[in-house]
Structure 1
Amino acid sequence: MSLDEVKAGPFGIGTFEVDGATIPAAVRGSKLFDLRDVIPGLSVTSQLFEDWDRNLDRIDDHLRAASTQGIVLDHGLVDARLRVLPPVQPVGPVIAAGANYREHIIEMSVAHRLGRDDASDDELRAEAAHEIDERVRAGDPYIWTGIPSAVVGAYDDVQLPDVGEDVDWELELGVVLRRDAYRIAAEDAWDHIAGFTIVNDLTARSLVPRPDMAKIGTDWFRSKNQPTFFPTGPVLMPSRFVTDPGSLRLELRLNGDVMQDATTGGLAFDVPSLLSYASSVAQLRAGDLLITGSPAGNGSHWKRFLRDGDVMEGSITGLGFQRNAVRGPTGHLPPWQASRPVAVSI
């Protein structure tokens, strides 16, 4: 559906805590509208997926009629009365695509020396480029999973862990499912997509390798599932308002400096391919969040990782804006790591 077919302009779907009460809401422009006033019996945003298109039409009609009402959103309100929660509640699993931007793969191959020990930087770049091109031509996406407890809101603080260093940012396009998906073809993927959101997929780089289990290799559970490691939102933008998901601009700033600046046109495997592949393995559910990979410009490339006091600001065309302050480690090890030899703890 094109924007000129929409009755009163785009709106996002979100979840907000206002004066201590959690409400499912629509956001249009600078105003927030409580969706419990629109759809009887609605308590959480995930219920909208039961009749997604009809519910969006009902919301659109309500917003058009109630254009002068709603809560006016401004910076002071967000600080004083309102907390922005992850848009889809309850939060479900994160199905995450790794190594899915060609330039990012090449960049990381050089930064982490992923290749022959005696290879030059130019050789590593060439070998990585050949590998990703062959994987897209004849291979599979790389998918791993994140857990709901690591997901936080678009303006929440990020807490650096007490175990794990070199915490990196990875701004990504998030895709939310509107209906269950299992063994679907790529050409049918759009029928299963509710909309899009922003996700910052944080990674403790020092926790990725497992030197004690070299044959198994990487450990995504401990490196990516720490609390606050998936800032998500602020809203879910319905796909009817996103005319070209393949050309959205992603930008991440660290303390005002641009670190990532790319478009979704750089995806190795596009959204339909990712969804088709993931659904070939697992039974995906309505409300599940698929994140599609991060472009070049991570801390590994800049040789600069997150520190106490940093501020990350992320945006994607038409999907809103994130702002996350970074807090340093607490200084207290979890009991498990405190009880283990140093060689195993890091």
Structure 2
Amino acid sequence: MKFARYGEPGQEKPAVVDHAGQLRDLSGVLPDLAGAVLGDLPVVNPDSLPLVMGNPRIGPPVGNVGKLICIGLNYIDHAAELGVDPPKDPVVFLKATSAIIGANDTVVLPRGSTRGDWEVELGIVIGKRAKYVSEENALDHVAGYTIVNDVSERAFQLERSGQWTKGKSCDTFAPVGPWLVTPDEVGDVQTLDLSVDVNGERVQTGNTRLMIFTVAEIVAYLSELMTLEPGDVIATGTPPGVGMGHKPPRSLSPGDEMVLRISGLGEQRSPVAQDR
């Protein structure tokens, strides 16, 4: 099934997506797509639910995200485009949850931004608490999958001292969604196509089969470092084609539009603006 949340920020309601791509209100079945609910998502007939009228904002498909964990340099061909050796262990960093926005919300470049960049990533949504889980059992803890844009400000990330967090956690730098898609509908999560278009031009493509660390490996590995709780989101790394990998490098500008797609997970369409 495909789940979504709609409404203004902080007032989102849960929904399912029917076979025609329309939203059906789920608030009479559960209060929100958040927390322990994600470990036991309802199986419902979308046609039995009220149709959501109009064209509401699509919010992040998960509410009250506790942790947004990111994996860096996780595609063989992305590491190659940056001229670095593939990591022997997953590169892990955290992105502030305050960066999370809806799939079609505006990405706002912060003051002083000169090197804004895009990163399409497969997002894992944790459904059941995971601590010291094996690779064999790791996928049992996954509620579903979504799209994450790990928007980055490369000057903040690489030219200021300290960790990557500075260039990763700016407000609006984590569009998530539009949907939370259950594993049974996704199928083989290691064969998904990913892409980014900027202003109608294809700039990034990839496939999850080229991930260095698989979804199961990532969940198992992270569960050794920290307890994964229902509603935590993991961004699993990006394929080649990020702006700084182009020759010459490319950056986002106000007025740009990013369109992100992953097979079966829908589409993000994010306009870009500049903070003042």
Same fold (TM over 0.5): yes
Deviation of 1:20 (Å): 9.7
Matched, 1:44 2:47: no
8 Å Cα contact 2:36-2:128 kept in structure 1: no
1:140 and 2:89 matched: yes
Q: Which moved more, 1:302-311 or 1:157-166?
A: 157-166
For residues 102 and 12 of structure 2, the distance between their equivalents in structure 1, rounded to whole angstroms, comes to: 13
Cα separation, partners in 2 of 1:288 and 1:323, compared to 1, 3 Å:
same
1:251 CA displacement? 0.9
Q: Deviations over 1:116-145 (max 9, x none)?
A: xxxxxxxxxxxx3xx32xx4xxx3111111
Higher helix share: 1
Aligned length: 273
Aligned counterpart in structure 1 of residue 81 of structure 2, from 94, 99, 107: 107
Distance 1:202 1:19 in 2: 20
| Contact residue 207 and residue 219 of structure 1 kept, 8 A | no
Q: Is the 8 Å Cα contact of residues 39 and 230 (structure 2) preserved in structure 1?
A: no
Greater relative contact order, per chain length (Cα 8 Å cut-off, separation 6+): 2
Tell me what 1:277 maps to: 221
1:27 maps to 2:17:
yes
In the alignment, is the contact (CA less than 8 A) between 2:39 and 2:128 conserved in 1? Answer: no
What residue is the counterpart of 1:294 in the other structure? 238
SS of the residue corresponding to residue 269 of structure 1 reads coil
Deviations 1:157-212 (A, max 9, x none): 0101103420110000000011111111111111000100001001111112356x
CA shift for structure 1 position 64 = 4.8
Aligned residue for 1:120? none
Return the match for 1:90 from 49, 55, 64: 64
8 Å CA contact 2:15, 2:23 repeated in 1: yes
CA deviation after TM superposition for structure 1 residue 12, in Å: 1.2
Structure 2 residue aligned with 1:304, among 250, 254, 257?
Answer: 250
Structure 1: segments with no counterpart, 5+ residues: 1-10, 110-127, 331-346
Residues 290/50 of structure 1: CA separation in 2 closer, same or farther (3 Å cut):
closer
Match for residue 155 of structure 1? Answer: 104
Distance 2:10 2:152 in 1: 31
**1:164, 1:223 within 8 Å by CA — same for their partners in 2?**
no
Q: Secondary structure at the match of 2:230?
A: coil
8 Å CA contact retained: 2:124, 2:234: yes
Task: Report the CA distance between 1:34 and its aligned residue.
Answer: 1.3
TM-aligned CA deviation for residue 23 of structure 1? 1.1
The corresponding residue for 2:144 is: 195
Q: Is residue 2:128 matched to residue 1:182?
A: no
Shift of 1:14: 1.3
SS in 2 for 1:71: coil
Q: Which residue of 2 aligns with 1:329?
A: 275
- 1:255 and 2:229 correspond: no
Structure 1-normalised TM-score?
0.75
Q: Take 1:100 and 1:240, find their aligned partners in 2: how far apart are those partners?
A: 24
For 1:315 and 1:222, locate their aligned partners in 2 and report how far apart those are by CA, in whole Å: 26
CA RMSD of aligned residues (A): 1.9
Q: Give 1:86 shift.
A: 0.5
Distance in structure 2 (CA, Å) of the matches to 1:310 and 1:176: 28
Looking at structure 1, the residues matched to 22 and 118 of structure 2 have their Cα atoms a distance apart, in angstroms, of: 30
Return the alpha-carbon distance in structure 1 between the equivalents of residues 138 and 52 of structure 2: 35
Cα contact 2:36–2:230 (8 A) shared by 1: no
Which SS does the other structure have where 1:209 is aligned?
helix
Structure with higher Rg: it is 1
Question: Which AA in structure 1 matches 2:76?
Answer: R
Cα displacement string for residues 203-233 of structure 1 (whole angstroms, at most 9, x for unaligned residues): 111112356x5xxxx5222110000000100
The answer as to whether partners of 2:116 and 2:154 remain within 8 angstroms in 1 is yes
Q: 1:19, 1:228 → 2: CA distance?
A: 12
Aligned equivalents of 2:11, 2:78: Cα separation in 1? 41
Secondary structure of 1:83's aligned partner: coil
Could you say what secondary structure the match of 1:30 adopts? coil
Are the structure 2 counterparts of residues 36 and 165 from structure 1 closer, same or farther at C-alpha, using a change threshold of 3 Å?
same
Give 1:91 shift. 2.7
- 2:219 maps to a residue whose letter is L
